[in-house]
Amino acid sequence: MSATRSVEFDVKDIGLAKQGKQRIEWAEREMPVLRLIRERFAEEKPLNGTKLVACAHITTETANLARALQAGGAEAILIASNPLSTQDDVAASLVSDWGIPVYAIKGESTETYNRHVRTALDSHPEIIIDDGSDVVATLIKERGDQVKELVGSTEETTTGIQRLKAMEIAGVLTFPTIAVNDAQTKHFFDNRYGTGQSTLDGIIRATNILLAGRNLVVVGYGWCGKGVALRARGMGANVIVTEIDAIKAIEAVMDGFRVMPIAEAAAIGDIFVTVTGNRHVIDGDHFARMKDGAIVCNSGHFDLELNLVALRGMAADPVTMRPFVEEYKVKASGRRIVVLGEGRLINLAAAEGHPASVMDMSFANQALSVEYLVKNKGKLAPGVHLLPPEVDTEIASLKLQALGISIDTLTAEQIEYISSWETGT
Ligand SMILES: NC(=O)c1ccc[n+]([C@@H]2O[C@H](COP(=O)([O-])OP(=O)(O)OC[C@H]3O[C@@H](n4cnc5c(N)ncnc54)[C@H](O)[C@@H]3O)[C@@H](O)[C@H]2O)c1
């Protein structure tokens, strides 16, 4: 660990800062809503002196969130939410150009990742911005005495909210947390259009394969799965969906996709993408059925959707064919299975994550959630909360305004009509 401008940090190479700064400013052009929030924060200082830890993918978009929080007066520390998603130039620039302590290195070991989480908690945060709930879980498990210092936390992703709800049921969630993912201006856009586009971007950057005419299997037809399926079809892939939820499955059927169990899809897929937030959705039995050369990746939060332990047990040591591309040869059949990005979020491992335009709304939600927690300090009950719906509408309106798109408003006659029951056939 080193220090520059009296800021502690652990990044790959501080010399990468110049390139990082340019890329952060490039992303900012696509983030008008967050910019407006940053400008207001700079005037009003709603987070003055708030000690904050943000655990996020350290990308150009997150850097712009950090700038907004800093403008609002927060003392923010940033750590990576995934060992493979850090953009090292961005981490360097945040330290060097904005004086923000960052602990994140692309490719860091799980041990380093966990050390960074603990170093961040040593700062005694009042607010935690989490992505996957690792920081909150560590705080509860290891730093019980620090929990009372917390004003609250926010959670970025589906998997993290699932964990927070489990903590709530277990009675260990003793502070308020805002489910940012559940805002409509987050998951409708980020999970669907962001993951949809960037997952394919990751697959293509890693492999340079043509998607047209290939059988692409999407495991899980939630918000992310819908986006991946939609965009893959747009590029000419024959999309197959697997699900465990009857409603999602029938939705996929009516959206025009083939739906079948994974055991069946395993034998015909050319490319597999998991987006379930669940464990071992592609298991040893499924790997055993796959065609020679099948490509498998994950875009769900944790690296446990693919049972890589089972695959390693069935195959010889993998050969790295290109960055983020490892080929396993199954001993029994001689067939080759290609795993991308070590089974970690492929859009962040091999590409750059979601485009800035979509993260603009997600991170507007994050910034406003932090402000909401600080403003309502001591007033919110422990547990998982949503941001008030008017904040969602405000973010959507600002985004439309930034895009130069105006919409209609209800006339007095229409308001009267939709609020009365008297007029019928
Ligand atoms: N790659 C990214 O940048 C990114 C962005 C947002 C969310 N995520 C992560 O992606 C995952 C999915 O998020 P989401 O918002 O789409 O969640 P979601 O809850 O909307 O969808 C998940 C779907 O997976 C299905 N599923 C569960 N187990 C399954 C199984 N064994 N086989 C087939 N389907 C199964 C569920 O029925 C559900 O429809 C989460 O881990 C989330 O944190 C990743």
User: pLDDT tens, 59-105?
Assistant: 999 999 999 999 999 999 999 999 999 999 999 999 999 999 999 99
- CB of 187 within 6 A of ligand 1: the answer is yes
Q: Could you tell me the pLDDT band of residue 425, with boundaries at 50, 70 and 90?
A: confident
Please answer whether residues 299 and 195 qualify as being in contact, where contact means their C-beta atoms are separated by less than 8 angstroms.
yes
Give residue 200 CA to ligand 1 midpoint distance, Å. Answer: 16
How many Cα atoms within 13 Å fall on the side-chain side of residue 170? 11
- CB of 289 within 6 A of ligand 1: the answer is no
Tokens of residue 339, six digits: 């795993």
* Residue 1 predicted with pLDDT over 60: no
Give residue 116 CA to ligand 1 midpoint distance, Å. Answer: 27
Question: What contacts 347, CB < 8 A, 6 or more positions away?
Answer: 195, 198, 199, 201, 202, 299, 353, 354
The closest-lying atom of ligand 1 relative to the alpha carbon of residue 160 is: 43
The closest-lying atom of ligand 1 relative to the alpha carbon of residue 242 is: 33
* Residue 3 predicted with pLDDT over 70: no
- CB of 82 within 6 A of ligand 1: the answer is no
How much is the mean pLDDT over the chain?
97
Give the 3-state secondary structure of residue 73. coil
Q: Could you tell me the pLDDT band of residue 7, with boundaries at 50, 70 and 90?
A: confident
Give residue 186 CA to ligand 1 midpoint distance, Å. Answer: 14
Give residue 71 CA to ligand 1 midpoint distance, Å. Answer: 34
Identify the pLDDT of residue 177.
98
Alpha-helix runs per DSSP H in 171-243: 184-186, 195-207, 223-234
Give residue 159 CA to ligand 1 midpoint distance, Å. Answer: 8
- Nearest Cα residue to atom 18 of ligand 1: 222
Measured distance CA(88)–CA(77) in Å, rounded: 16
- CB of 225 within 6 A of ligand 1: the answer is yes
Q: In the chain, what is the straight-line distance between the N-terminal and C-terminal CA atoms, in Å?
A: 73
Please answer whether residues 130 and 156 qualify as being in contact, where contact means their C-beta atoms are separated by less than 8 angstroms.
yes
> Mapped to the 3 state alphabet, what secondary structure does 286-314 carry?
HHHHCCCCEEEEECCCCCCCECHHHHHHH
- CB of 369 within 6 A of ligand 1: the answer is no
pTM value? 0.94
Identify the pLDDT of residue 2.
57
- CB of 159 within 6 A of ligand 1: the answer is yes
Relative to beta strand 127-130, strand 215-219 is unpaired
Give residue 383 CA to ligand 1 midpoint distance, Å. Answer: 22
CA 416: distance to chain centroid?
42
- CB of 219 within 6 A of ligand 1: the answer is yes
* Residue 6 predicted with pLDDT over 80: no
Q: Beta strands of 131-257 (E only): which ranges?
A: 152-155, 176-179, 215-219, 238-242
* Residue 5 predicted with pLDDT over 70: no
Percentage of the chain with pLDDT > 90?
Answer: 97
Measured distance CA(147)–CA(127) in Å, rounded: 11
Pocket test for ligand 1, best of 188, 191, 251, 302 (most atoms within 8 A of CB): 191
Identify the pLDDT of residue 166.
98
- CB of 158 within 6 A of ligand 1: the answer is yes
CA 407: distance to chain centroid?
30
CA 367: distance to chain centroid?
16
Q: Mind listing the pLDDT tens digit for each residue in 14-68?
A: 999 999 999 999 999 999 999 999 999 999 999 999 999 999 999 999 999 999 9
- Nearest Cα residue to atom 31 of ligand 1: 281
- Nearest Cα residue to atom 3 of ligand 1: 195
Identify the pLDDT of residue 424.
86
Q: Mind listing the pLDDT tens digit for each residue in 336-371?
A: 999 999 999 999 999 999 999 999 999 999 999 999
- CB of 184 within 6 A of ligand 1: the answer is no
Please report, for residues 66, 103, 198, 251, 295, the alpha-carbon distance to residue 235 in angstroms, rounded to integers and kept in the order given: 35, 38, 13, 21, 17
- CB of 300 within 6 A of ligand 1: the answer is yes
Give residue 306 CA to ligand 1 midpoint distance, Å. Answer: 13
- Nearest Cα residue to atom 35 of ligand 1: 220
The closest-lying atom of ligand 1 relative to the alpha carbon of residue 221 is: 39
Q: Mind listing the pLDDT tens digit for each residue in 382-415?
A: 999 999 999 999 999 999 999 999 999 999 999 9
Identify the pLDDT of residue 27.
98
Give residue 195 CA to ligand 1 midpoint distance, Å. Answer: 11
Q: Could you tell me the pLDDT band of residue 334, with boundaries at 50, 70 and 90?
A: very high
Identify the pLDDT of residue 423.
86
